[in-house]
Amino acid sequence: MFDVVIVGSGPAGLGAAIYAKRAMLDAVVIEKAGYSGGQIINTDDVDNYLGLSGISGYDMAMSFREHADKLDVLFKDVEVTNIAEETGGYRLSTSGGDDILTKTVILATGANHSKLNVTGEDKYTGKGVSYCATCDGAFYRGKEVAVIGGGDVALEDALYLSKIASKVYLVHRRDELRGAKSLQDKVFAADNIEFVKDTVVEAINGEIKVTDIDVLNVKSKEACKIKVDGVFIAVGMKPNTEFVNGFVDMDEKGYIKALEDGITSRAGIFVAGDARTKNLRQVITAVADGANCVASVEKYLNLL
């Protein structure tokens, strides 16, 4: 039986892993994706992590993983499908068929992109529909694209794409953007970004690839088509917590309820990173969560 199983190998999971090794805990990191880093792997620049200004997300993920490897962190490439109580701890069912027994669990499963849930979205994913501007933007050099959403990610995506595409439509369902004022200023200053406000996307159309989107102005009720080659969807994140639904308390969006110590509603189950209820979901807060969770695990194990 492990002391702790860390589910997820993004910044929160790897942060927890190095603290667990240094605390001499018998630990394993479960990595579903087959690579470490979580969401940062798809991030162009991470410019707000102390001491590493301008590092690419990929390089940051590699350096986090190297640090874990130096400490001989044990990794297992499987998906956890269920967690159940077991005498003295928990039993984790996995996609590989083997069960894993552990005294404690740190859930560091992060979050994924939300879908827009409109006609054509699934059909054209990878054929013009993308959830990652920095991954797919280069395919749209000199072309026209739409970014859907009004948060920080949508604004960053629109700015990134404005340097590649000939025209970027920023389509947002309200007349006010949610993203940071500093990003808004840059968006409004860009010549080739058009803010399409009060507008929802009703369908993504195409033949082999995307050709246009059907949009509706929610105030004027006017419907029209916008011709685009690419649609970048940036409408927020969804936590990867379905497999523990009903097992630990969550908020209405599916984030696992916990404070900075990572303690959830169930003894011995902890949560770190973007899957936790928190104000600021960033690499630096995810790493800190991992460290805090291990401190909580140690306290808990001493009480067993």
What are the catalytic residues?
A: 132, 135-136
Supply φ then ψ for residue 143, to 5 degrees. Answer: -105, 175
Assess contact for 92 and 80: CB atoms under 8 A: yes
| Minimum distance of ligand NAP from residue 48's CB (angstroms) | 6
Near ligand NAP by CB under 6 A: residue from 152, 194, 198, 214: 152
x/- contact string, 86-125, with ligand NAP (CB under 6 A)?
A: ------------------------------x---------
Q: For tokens 């792997």, name the residue.
A: 41
DSSP per position, 32-57: SSSSS-GGGGG-SEE--STT-TTEEH
Q: Tell me whether residue 76 or residue 173 sits nearer to ligand NAP (CB atom).
A: 173
For the record, the structure tokens of 38 come out as 């979580």
Q: Tell me whether residue 72 or residue 252 sits nearer to ligand NAP (CB atom).
A: 252
| Minimum distance of ligand NAP from residue 156's CB (angstroms) | 6
Residue with nearest beta carbon to ligand NAP: 151
Q: Tell me whether residue 165 or residue 234 sits nearer to ligand NAP (CB atom).
A: 234
Alpha-carbon distances of 180 from 46, 151, 159, 173, rounded to whole Å:
16, 8, 13, 17
Q: Which of 35, 42, 19 is nearest to 75 (CA)?
A: 35
* CA separation for the pair 37, 147 (Å, rounded): 25
x/- contact string, 228-257, with ligand NAP (CB under 6 A)?
A: ------xxxx--------------------
151: contact with ligand NAP by CB under 6 A: yes
Residues that bind ligand NAP (CB under 6 A): 116, 149-154, 156, 173-174, 178, 234-237, 281
